[in-house]
């Protein structure tokens, strides 16, 4: 928030330019309210969510459930903002959907949708600062509507800013789809070679027979920085359903052991999960090759695998199979937060092929990983540029 308003910009209350609605939860004791055809979103589903838009939900409610709660179906292209606990996660819904009460649901009326989406992204820290509550912070609709915002008077200027900055995210999303296709290709190859094949002649091994599972680093908040120190991979970098994102990387400034370090290409596994459906825990990811990171730390909610090069590709795609991820998720203990023990990872049994077959598989899928890695590097550069330009565009310091 700046004191001097840029030329041809105006100060408004958010309630003047958008309509806001809440959400609600039908009674979980009444089965007829659930498993309907109306998508119903919760804030937990946006934990580790890495896309600007959303087209599906984990739960669905019935028309009866909707009518007997304060939930409301928001039309497509609304803006859905988390307002409890984790405040400021924001998505645009591409299909009509309802939400629970942990959202402020927004319908733009006198502001461009994309511009306002990025206004919210740019002001996430401020939204958290004004949240109130003793048990947990919450941003109320009434407080939200009274927020002062500085926006261009001309909606065409807003549209140009929105389109300009959204082009970065659109390119990132296209790249993510290509990367997902490459990943699926490699998984198909793995399935053909090692799942559908007769494995009776292969020796049954445990992961601990060919790899060492290293715990991540325990740290205090004072050792974490937004910009200085060693980059740290933590739970926030694991995407729902698997995969890795450099978004939100934190930096560690304290002491560490060699076993806390990983290098590009290494396998890391999420050992904790905050989502009710356990969509992250037990899922592996490969550490990307970001040229300016020569050392990378893993946090306590992540473990890493230390193994010979010949086993890396095989183990990674083995861990991407449904059998592994399902067993790890179901083995995790905890009520509010699920925790996975390294012993469960170490004790996972599988048929291990001969070295000649492993080498052939490695030579087949390694180029796929390299191509996928180049895409991730490009995405990181795009994200850095977007994040540098966003606050300047939102303050009217640069024009498009």
Cβ neighbours of residue 188 closer than 8 Å, sequence gap 6 or more: none
pLDDT band at 331 (very low <50, low <70, confident <90, very high): confident
What average pLDDT does the structure give for the chain? 90
Judge if 9-151 and 179-354 fold alike in CATH terms. yes
Domain spans of the chain? Answer: 9-151, 179-354
Cα 23 to Cα 30: distance, rounded to the nearest angstrom: 18
- With 60 as the cut, is the pLDDT of residue 162 above it? yes
pLDDT at 55: 95
Q: What is the mean pLDDT of residues 69-98?
A: 96
pLDDT at 244: 67
CA dihedral 197, 312, 298, 187 (to 10 degrees): -40
Q: What is the mean pLDDT of residues 109-128?
A: 97
Taking only the tens place, the pLDDT of each residue in 339-374 is 888 999 999 999 999 999 999 999 999 999 889 888
pLDDT at 2: 47
The CATH number of 179-354 is 3.90.220.20
**What Rg do the C-alpha atoms of the chain give, in angstroms?**
23
**Residues paired with residue 231 on neighbouring β-strands, in sequence order:** 251
Q: What is the mean pLDDT of residues 172-188?
A: 93
pLDDT band at 133 (very low <50, low <70, confident <90, very high): confident
State whether the Cα torsion 349-354-359-360 is positive or negative: negative
pLDDT at 317: 94
In degrees, rounded to 5, the angle at the alpha carbon of residue 215 between the alpha carbons of residues 210 and 218 is: 170
Taking only the tens place, the pLDDT of each residue in 221-278 is 899 988 789 988 887 777 655 566 666 678 999 999 999 999 888 999 989 876 555 6
pLDDT band at 326 (very low <50, low <70, confident <90, very high): confident
Cα 189 to Cα 216: distance, rounded to the nearest angstrom: 31
Options 3.60.10.10, 3.90.220.20, 3.20.20.450, 3.30.420.10; CATH for 9-151 is: 3.90.220.20
pLDDT at 1: 45
CB atoms within 10 A of CB 213: 20
pLDDT at 335: 66
pLDDT at 154: 97
Cα 301 to Cα 280: distance, rounded to the nearest angstrom: 11
Share of the chain above pLDDT 70, in %: 94
Q: Report the candidate in 40, 59, 130 with the shortest Cα–Cα distance to residue 277.
A: 59
- With 70 as the cut, is the pLDDT of residue 290 above it? no
pLDDT at 276: 57
- With 70 as the cut, is the pLDDT of residue 291 above it? no
What are the distances in angstroms from CA 263 to CA 114, 177, 305? 37, 25, 11
CB atoms within 10 A of CB 368: 19
Q: 372-390 burial, b if ≥16 CB within 10 A, otherwise e?
A: bbebbeebbebbeebeebb
């Amino acid at each position: 928030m700046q004191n001097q308003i840029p030329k041809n910009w105006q100060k408004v209350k958010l309630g003047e330019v958008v309509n806001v609605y809440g959400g609600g939860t039908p009674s979980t004791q009444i089965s007829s309210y659930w498993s309907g055809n109306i998508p119903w979103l919760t804030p937990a589903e946006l934990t580790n969510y890495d896309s600007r838009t959303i087209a599906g939900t984990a739960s669905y409610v019935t028309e009866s459930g909707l009518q007997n709660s304060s939930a409301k179906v928001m039309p497509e292209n609304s803006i859905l903002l988390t307002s409890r606990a984790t405040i400021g996660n924001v998505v645009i819904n591409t299909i009509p959907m309802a939400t629970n009460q942990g959202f402020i649901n927004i319908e733009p009326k006198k502001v461009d949708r994309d511009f306002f989406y990025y206004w919210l992204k740019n002001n996430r820290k401020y939204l958290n600062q004004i949240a109130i509550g003793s048990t947990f912070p919450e941003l109320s609709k009434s407080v939200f509507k009274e927020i002062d915002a500085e926006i261009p008077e001309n909606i065409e200027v807003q549209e140009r800013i929105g389109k300009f900055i959204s082009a970065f995210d659109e390119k990132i999303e296209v790249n993510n789809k290509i990367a997902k296709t490459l990943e699926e290709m490699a998984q198909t190859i793995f399935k053909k070679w090692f799942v559908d094949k007769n494995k009776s002649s292969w020796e049954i091994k445990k992961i601990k027979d060919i790899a060492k599972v290293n715990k991540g680093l325990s740290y205090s908040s004072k050792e974490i920085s937004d910009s200085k120190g060693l980059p740290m991979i933590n739970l926030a970098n694991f995407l729902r359903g698997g995969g890795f994102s450099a978004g939100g990387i934190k930096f560690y400034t304290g002491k560490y052991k060699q076993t806390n370090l990983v290098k590009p290409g290494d396998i890391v596994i999420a050992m904790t999960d905050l989502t009710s459906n356990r969509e992250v825990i037990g899922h592996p990811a490969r550490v990307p090759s970001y040229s300016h990171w020569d050392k990378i730390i893993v946090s306590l909610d992540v473990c890493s695998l230390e193994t010979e090069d010949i086993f890396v590709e095989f183990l990674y795609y083995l861990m991407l199979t449904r059998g592994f991820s399902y067993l790890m998720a179901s083995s995790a203990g905890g009520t509010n937060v699920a925790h996975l023990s390294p012993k469960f990872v170490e004790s996972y049994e599988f048929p291990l092929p001969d070295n000649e077959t492993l080498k052939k598989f490695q030579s087949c899928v390694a180029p796929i990983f390299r191509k996928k890695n180049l895409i991730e590097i490009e995405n990181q550069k795009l994200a850095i540029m977007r994040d540098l330009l966003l606050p300047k565009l939102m303050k009217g310091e640069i024009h498009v």
